[in-house]
Amino acid sequence: PVDAAEARAVGEAGMRHALAEAAAGAPARAATIAIVRAKGRKYGVSFEPAPVQAAAKETRSLPGEFIAAGANDVTDAFLEWARPIVGPLPQCEVFN
């Protein structure tokens, strides 16, 4: 649900940005809307216009604190970070 709401908000922010630029007489230019996560433990985001070139170069790796010691799982810190975005996660079981 959060992901779907953010996707819609990105579209709305893009339209508002394009309409504002057109109303100001600005020339058309390629832009994207960046989802910027707020700092702190409470989940929140803002939607900001950015040049397409800036979005294309922003590839990030998963921080080491989110990768479990055996490098085959994620940590509780990752689950805490991801939960507001993805919602409830399924319970995983281990078979003996």
49-64, pLDDT tens digit by residue? 988 877 766 677 889 9
Confidence band for 86, pLDDT divided at 50, 70 and 90? confident
Q: Residue 29: helix, strand or coil by DSSP?
A: coil
- By three-state DSSP, how is residue 33 classified? strand
18's tokens: 């394009």
Condensed to tens digits (0 to 9), the pLDDT of residues 14-33 reads 999 988 888 888 777 778 89
Q: 0.85 cut: is pTM over it?
A: no
86's torsion region: left (phi>0), alpha (psi -120 to 50) or beta?
alpha
pLDDT at 74 over 80: yes
Checking if the pLDDT of 11 tops 80, the result is: yes
Place of tokens 């057109």: 22
Cα-based distances in Å from 32 to 5, 29, 55, 69: 17, 10, 7, 36
Residue 10, pLDDT > 90, answer yes
